[in-house]
Chains A and B, each alone.
Chain A
Amino acid sequence: MYNVRRLVLAHFGFAFGAFALALLLGEWQMIVRSPLHAWLDNPEHYYRSVTAHGTVMGYVFPTLIAMGFGYAISVTTLQRDLVGLRTAWIAFWMVVVGTVVAALIVASGHASVLYSFYPPLVGNALYYIGVALIVVGSWVWVALLTINLAAWRKVNPGKKVPFTMYANVAGSYLWGWTAVGVVAEILFQILPVALGFKTTVDAGLARVLFSWTLHAIVYFWLIPAYIAYYTILPRAIGSRLYSDTMGRLAFVLFLVFAMPIGIHHLYDDPMVGSGIKVMHGVFTAMVTVPTLLTIFTITSSAELAARQRGGHGLLGWVKALPWENPVMLGVAFSFVMLGFGGAGGLINMTYQTDSTIHNTQWITGHFHLIFPGAIVIMYFVIAYDLWPALTGRALGSLALVRTQLWLWFVGMMILTIPWHIAGLYGMPRRMAYYDYTNPALAPDAWTVIASVVGGGLAVISGLLLVYILLSSLRRERVAPPAYRFSEALNESPVVPRALNGFAVWLGLMLALTLVNYGFPIWELRKIPTTSVPAVYVGGGQ
């Protein structure tokens, strides 16, 4: 894989290692707040664990997967070595150092602020610096992809950018702009307080800035999964991508609409006007468009393969799909979870229906169904698919791989569906223990126990993944064919000019950011009386 084999392996290795540890923390959290465990003597330990789990799963794991996969895409689709390999390694080590620093501070109990920071809570400055380092490392990746694409364009003037690379760069631009919110929050709101230059935080403004990042970060996590739908699945099942143009359109629509919609996370916050919230609600609804385009395109691509294999009938072709293929299985599971999660998401994004589930366990159930459910299962698929090309060794038993995917899917469904139900019953989130003996809460008890069981299956599955990947390294070397992504059904040499570049879409993204975020940020900056004293965690300052 050109000059990035070790680089991609390092990214995946650290990502899955951190993932496995954070997975154990997640299950521990589920157990200690379930009726199966006595109340924690020190609830601070719970929040410490939640902070570590969220920081690793939210910032570290998906960022490294996106970076590693992004480098692999760059070299395989542009068919040339990565420009700036040394810089890429520096970026990798920035992420690793940032992770270790943040993790140590969290483990020592000095930054139990949860991964979304929750100002006016303020923890130790090193935690935020660690997180900022992770983001800055990922920005280097954004720049490197741009540089590599530009270098390719220079020698291939006017040629169509390969679809996979186009989607890859769109995802990186989305992240580049999305991460500005959290970095601005850290630099201008939290760090001055954490370092002792200030004692007050504008909590409202900080929350608005975090919302800038908070929703689109999910789409950043999602992009590698979507790329895999479009460019790994059709190849793996012997089909072709139904439409290259439709795919490009889906990715640029994410670029435009994913970011300026984050205030739908603040529907219950008083510092943002209702009109602004309506605007964010309207544009949140727009992200269903690229999702539905994707479902349509991918299902059509699968149908092509099935009919070639003799499948027939309106839905009968589904039986003819190569279900023994782990990629097929993984995508199907991902779609099911995306379907449930997406339906729940429609409820969250609607100003009126959100009020019933806001800040309940429904929300945690929802994002676990989307991220560890629909998205992370595709990270597994990506790792399995790239592994032979990266290590020169074939995976062992495919039955074991399928078992791993099945366990993850079943585990995630048993984890998250009761979790949603707990939220509908009104159970608040972010609490270390619940009084299940109280008649008002007793009916919720079974949902949490079910989630513990589901989480347990997910832990087994996660450890199985690590075993499958590591045990393959003991197998004898093979020479896998050159890694490639799917081709489109009608591979035309040209695409509409707007879909071969990013100018229009980046312009729209910036303009919509200005429309949807400009006023609230300007307004909150302007009002001098909106800051509140910081609440220092970890023993005070």
Chain B
Amino acid sequence: MNKLGLWAILAVAAMVLVGGVIGFVWLPRVVYSDQGFFAAWCSALGVPRSWAAYGASPVARISSDVVLTHELLEPSTPADVGHGATLALRCTMCHGPTGISFADSPNLAGQYAVVIYKQLRDYKSGMRTNAVMSAMARSLSDTDMRQVAAYYASLPRPAAFRLTGAAPAVVKYGAPMRNIAPCGSCHGAIDHTLASPWLKGEPRAYIRAELTAFASEERHNDIDAQMRAIAHGMTPDEIDQAAAYFAGEH
């Protein structure tokens, strides 16, 4: 080992020592002065601790007990669709015989299976409530829900041709200063995220009612409060514009 190399090694070791003392001894003693030395040292290293130890619960209220992954639903078989069609006979009163509603209930034809499945699970668990749907979902088994979802997903979507006119600003651009993303960044026009419903052609009254319910926290089964955060920032006017646009009544 030559002299320069040895000096270099010693100099770097000294820097590690100085940096280590500052980062792991000196600063933690100031920043985490209420904890013991060992706890302070662990904090500086980044060892995670239980938040509960500080008396705070990390989750105030679970919004849904459905864990969304792309593998949540197996690909459906024709038998699933057939069973689902039979089960869906009891849904026709509100959602229409072909999944197109005449009662301002959501159109289900062509809706993503995972969307229908998640909402049914939430109705059953009570995370989402509705006078009619809560009772309907109570008797459904997990398989029933998967099959009903598969059936509706297999039907042709309500025609997008009902969409007329240009999208209002809140739909097209959102509102960047209010943290409102364009609707299409999750609901399909720009990109589609898991369990975000297809909205085009849904009844105006339904969209308006749901956005209003999200804004008031009356509905709260959106994971991480994603829709509530957006609906909170929307004005009643914007809610109506968005509802009218997606219903094709703009």
Decide if A and B are genuine partners.
Answer: yes
Instruction: Write the chain B residue with the least CB distance to A273.
Output: B46
- Residues of A within 8 Å of B175, CB to CB, are 435
- Is B46 a contact partner of A39 (Cβ separation < 8 A)? no
Known: A536-B70, A539-B191, A539-B192. A279 touches B9 (CB 8 A): no
- Is B20 a contact partner of A279 (Cβ separation < 8 A)? yes
Nearest CB of chain A from residue B23's CB, rounded to whole Å: 3
Nearest CB of chain A from residue B201's CB, rounded to whole Å: 19
- Residues of B within 8 Å of A515, CB to CB, are 16
B27 contacts the other chain (CB 8 A): yes
Nearest CB of chain A from residue B224's CB, rounded to whole Å: 11
Within A248-305, the residues touching B (CB, 8 Å) are: 256, 271-279, 282-283, 286
- Is B192 a contact partner of A496 (Cβ separation < 8 A)? no
A118 contacts the other chain (CB 8 A): no
- Is A43 a contact partner of B182 (Cβ separation < 8 A)? yes
- Is B2 a contact partner of A497 (Cβ separation < 8 A)? yes
Point out the residue from B9, B46, B184, B189 that lies within 8 Å of A520, measured CB to CB. Answer: B46
Nearest CB of chain A from residue B177's CB, rounded to whole Å: 5
Nearest CB of chain A from residue B246's CB, rounded to whole Å: 17
Known: A433-B173, A438-B177, A540-B193. A274 touches B44 (CB 8 A): yes
B206 contacts the other chain (CB 8 A): no
- Residues of B within 8 Å of A482, CB to CB, are none
- Residues of A within 8 Å of B23, CB to CB, are 274-279, 282
Q: How large is the interface on A (under 10, 10 to 19, 20 to 34, 35 or more residues)?
A: 35 or more
Known: A199-B71, A440-B177. A275 touches B27 (CB 8 A): yes
Instruction: Write the chain A residue with the least CB distance to B19.
Output: A282
- Is B2 a contact partner of A274 (Cβ separation < 8 A)? no
Interface flags for B152-179 (1: CB within 8 Å of A; 0: not) read 0000000000000000000011011100
- Is A498 a contact partner of B4 (Cβ separation < 8 A)? yes
B28 contacts the other chain (CB 8 A): yes
B69 contacts the other chain (CB 8 A): yes
Point out the residue from A43, A199, A433, A497 that lies within 8 Å of B190, measured CB to CB. Answer: A43
- Residues of A within 8 Å of B176, CB to CB, are 431, 433-435
A42 contacts the other chain (CB 8 A): yes
Within A493-541, the residues touching B (CB, 8 Å) are: 496-499, 503-505, 507-508, 511-512, 515, 519-520, 523, 527, 533-541
A100 contacts the other chain (CB 8 A): no
- Is A523 a contact partner of B12 (Cβ separation < 8 A)? no
- Is A508 a contact partner of B8 (Cβ separation < 8 A)? yes
Residue from A271, A286, A434, A498 having most chain B Cβ neighbours under 10 A: A498
Residue from B23, B175, B193 having most chain A Cβ neighbours under 10 A: B23
A441 contacts the other chain (CB 8 A): yes
Within B31-46, the residues touching A (CB, 8 Å) are: 31, 41, 43-46
B209 contacts the other chain (CB 8 A): no
- Is B4 a contact partner of A496 (Cβ separation < 8 A)? yes
Point out the residue from B4, B44, B48, B70 that lies within 8 Å of A541, measured CB to CB. Answer: B70
A44 contacts the other chain (CB 8 A): yes
Point out the residue from B8, B22, B43, B70 that lies within 8 Å of A504, measured CB to CB. Answer: B8
- Residues of A within 8 Å of B3, CB to CB, are 496
B73 contacts the other chain (CB 8 A): no
- Residues of A within 8 Å of B71, CB to CB, are 199
- Residues of A within 8 Å of B184, CB to CB, are 42
- Is A540 a contact partner of B192 (Cβ separation < 8 A)? yes
B5 contacts the other chain (CB 8 A): yes
Point out the residue from A273, A286, A511, A523 that lies within 8 Å of B43, measured CB to CB. Answer: A273
- Is B9 a contact partner of A273 (Cβ separation < 8 A)? no
- Is B27 a contact partner of A274 (Cβ separation < 8 A)? yes
**Assembled-state Cα–Cα distance A282/B192 (Å):** 43
Instruction: Kindly list the 4 A-B residue pairs having the minimum CB-CB distance in the complex, ordered from nearest.
Output: A273-B46, A275-B44, A278-B23, A275-B23
Interface residues of A (CB under 8 A from B): 39, 41-44, 199-200, 256, 271-279, 282-283, 286, 431, 433-435, 438, 440-441, 496-499, 503-505, 507-508, 511-512, 515, 519-520, 523, 527, 533-541
